[in-house]
Copies of this chain bind each other. A is one copy, B any other.
Amino acid sequence: MYQAPRGTRDFTPEEMQKRQYVEENIRSTFQSFGYQEIQTPTFENLKLFTAKSGETIIDEIYSFTDKGGRDLALRPELTAPVIRFYVDKLQMRPKPLKLFYFGNCYRYDRPQKGRYREFRQAGCEIIGVDTPEAYAELIALSYTILEKLGLKNIQLNIGNLRILDCLFKKYKLTKKQQKYITPLIDKSQYTDLQDALKDFNLSDKNSKEFIEALQLSNINKLQGYIEINGNIEKEISKQKQIMNLLRDSFDIKNYHFKLGIVRGLDYYTDIVFEIEAPELGAEKQLCGGGGYELIRLFGGKETPTAGFAIGFDRTILALETEGYIFPTSRLDAYVIPVNKEMISKSLQIAQQLRKQGCIIDVDLMRRGIGKSLKYANSRNSKKAIIVGPDELKQNSVTIRDMETGEQKLVEIKNILEYIK
């Protein structure tokens, strides 16, 4: 017997209903913010990803050589392809350029709960602007998407890599040391972080202060931890403006400043943010993004860029954990010919109703009323339309309400009003 490859999934009709709901809902929120949808190929030239993330990424992705000798890779994420597309074909468009997209991504990872080798992401980029209002709108968009999907319990954290860099500099941490502790900061592993800082010869007092600073949630208390002047003063002021706009213009109050947000990726430059569903534990991060630089690396004219990505699987997991009732599609009616002679008329009635916007199925197996009603039930049909010779002589059919069992003789020309 054949099975789906390890780490990949087949989606049943019930699962696809949830995924389609999530996709359509996200699409409409992106559009309401003036974003436009684009799409890039499923695979790219491998060097696109090594240019961005270094050769080590090859260990984590699906790379292969095609029959023409090209080194290709199934995309592990969507930002690099989108910026490649921008540099190649969209640079001349009026700014800001607001782009969104959906796409499957691939990582050669050990499959585990909430992590798959093929997974779907939604994401966006805003290109050509880095004002506080642009960042505020971007962050508000990510929050609005999750809120509009129906999530109740989400938490937005906003950090800033330029301010974090200031903290690194204060304690004279080298680039190599920063790189080592970044994953520990990202995962809030403060005991391990303390050990590392000790190895780097920070005093206990300095180490304690460093870790306190990472956990600050009030931006106004920063001055106790770093020296505030010049560019950093401007950066902090920008951060405050963004947070004020979120509160005042977008009515989002459920956010925290958090210096300890570093994101896993090297190319972020300033503002970074994450949205979590705390109930999900280790898989709590639903969304991550920030400002970054990638255009020049791909040969384009540098211009500000920011964006975020939302994971489908965790978002659905979060909705399920909150007990969210996903909308389900039902059959409006199941049409049952009582004998062979009624088939043609039954198909015709079904087709007419479909043309009028109804969701209609019809018995194609000639299995009689009892079994057909059972099938209609299994398909969660609202009504059954029974087409028999006696009724047909009166240009009528019997409509049965599948919930109450009530039956009614209805003229064919009036069926629609009994169905919709």
Contact = CB atoms under 8 A, between A and B. Distances in A.
Given A41-B118, A45-B5, A70-B5, A13 B36 contact: yes
A40 B298 contact: no
A4 B88 contact: yes
A112 interface: no
A4 B84 CA distance: 8
Contacts of A87: 1-2
A347 B5 CA distance: 47
A24 to B, nearest CB: 9
Contact of A11 (B9, B38, B67, B128): B38
Interface string A1-20: 11111101111110011011
B365 A9 contact: no
Contact of A245 (B44, B45, B126, B347): B347
Interface residues of A, number: 99
Contacts of A345: 249
A70 to B, nearest CB: 7
B10 A37 contact: no
A5 B348 contact: no
Consensus secondary structure, chain A interface: mixed
Interface in A178-220: none
Total identical chains:
2
B12 A90 contact: yes
Contacts of A44: 2, 4-5
A173 interface: no
Contacts of A126: 364
B64 A37 contact: no
Given A3-B88, A67-B108, A95 B365 contact: yes
Contact of A10 (B2, B39, B108, B137): B39
Given A16-B37, A42-B74, 10 more contacts: A1-B87, A8-B42, A10-B85, A17-B37, A31-B329, A32-B354, A34-B334, A62-B64, A98-B361, A137-B364
Interface of A: 1-6, 8-13, 16-17, 19-20, 31-34, 36-45, 47-48, 51, 59, 62, 64-68, 70, 72, 74, 84-85, 87-90, 94-96, 98-99, 104, 106, 108, 118, 126, 128-129, 131, 133-134, 136-137, 140, 144, 244-245, 248-251, 298-299, 329, 331, 334, 343-348, 351, 354, 357-362, 364-366, 375, 378-379
